[in-house]
Amino acid sequence: MSLKRQTRDKIRNLLVNIVKTKLRKYKPETKQMPFHFRLLGRDRYAMFSFIQSMNTTFGISIWEQVAVILAESAGFQAKRQYDLLGNIDPETEKLIQTIHYDLRAGVRQVSKLEEIELIRKSIRKGTPRKDPDSRVDLFVKIGDVENYFDITSAKPNMKEFSALKLKLLRWTALRLSQDKNVEVFTRLAIPYNPYHPRPYERWTLKGLYDLDRGEILVGEEFWNFVTGDDIYDELLDVFQEAGEGLRDEIDRKFAEFKNRSI
């Protein structure tokens, strides 16, 4: 299945609108950075600052919104910035901490399904309330399975990977505290592989994540998963189409930096 024209148009329009809004509102920072200015030039530093600002926008909203468009186009239920309500009882909280510690220490073999079932057996019915870990970047229901995603940066360090694993375990418990029979799967999504064409291997040595079960989905794996089809190359084409349409406007904005003091 290829991307529907309507889906392509939604994604392209989203990208164009976000970038145009950023271009219209963006103003280079006024702080003085004399060493940077003299080494790189004020205009180049302003361009760099704008690109950094765009990188933040990708992380905050673009990935999530594109994923929702794709999932809904495939007929799946999807929502971004989803609040996962629940309550984790002390015994289950202790169990989660033990699982997490044992995985980090290398004394437990990672198994996503086993972790889910251990939490399912332990969890007690709880009130649907907010938790410090309640906010989910992306929720996608495919068939009977509820998938909860944290969409993270391309190169988290090991400390961040460890903290994210703990969050995924707690998400499982929060959801099961409301319905012990639900099919739940918590995942980490990395929107692109910065090491392509080599495999993404930053996390394989620690044994924190069940890679065989898709607990982490990277780049092509993630985008194809949320649509249930092989659409990755087409998605890249849509980004390129949007970029080509924006090229002149971006060039005009960068030209302003050359004639303006920061």
Strand 183-190 to strand 145-151: parallel, antiparallel, or no bridges (unpaired)? Answer: parallel
Residues 43-76 pLDDT 10s: 777 777 778 878 888 877 899 999 999 999 999 9
More confidently predicted of 229 and 204: 229
Cα separation, 119 vs 159, in Å, equals: 23
Buried residues in 17-51 as b, exposed as e (16+ CB within 10 A): ebbeebbeeeebeeeeeeeebeeeebbebbbebbe
Residue 217 has pLDDT above 80, yes or no: yes
User: Could you tell me which CATH number the domain at 75-228 has?
Assistant: 3.40.1560
Residues 7-17 pLDDT 10s: 999 999 999 99
| Mean per-residue pLDDT over the chain, rounded | 90
Residues 152-173 pLDDT 10s: 987 778 888 999 999 999 999 9
User: Which residues are CB-contacts of 249 (< 8 A; sequence separation ≥ 6)?
Assistant: 20, 23
What does the DSSP 8-state code read for residue 180?
T
Cα separation, 254 vs 262, in Å, equals: 13
Cα separation, 248 vs 35, in Å, equals: 31
In the chain, ranges of CATH 3.40.1560 domains: 75-228
Cα-based distances in Å from 46 to 50, 59, 60, 65: 6, 20, 21, 27
Q: What is the full DSSP assignment across 51-89?
A: HHHHHHHIIIIIHHHHHHHHHHHTT-EEEEEEE--B---
Other Cβ atoms less than 10 A from the Cβ of 65: the count is: 17
Buried residues in 98-109 as b, exposed as e (16+ CB within 10 A): ebbeebbeeebe
Global pTM value: 0.90
SS3 content of the chain, % helix, strand, coil (to 5): 55, 15, 30
pLDDT at 24: 84
pLDDT at 262: 44
pLDDT at 206: 64
Looking up tokens 């600002």 gives: 53
pLDDT band at 39 (very low <50, low <70, confident <90, very high): confident
Contact 226, 67 (CB under 8 A): yes
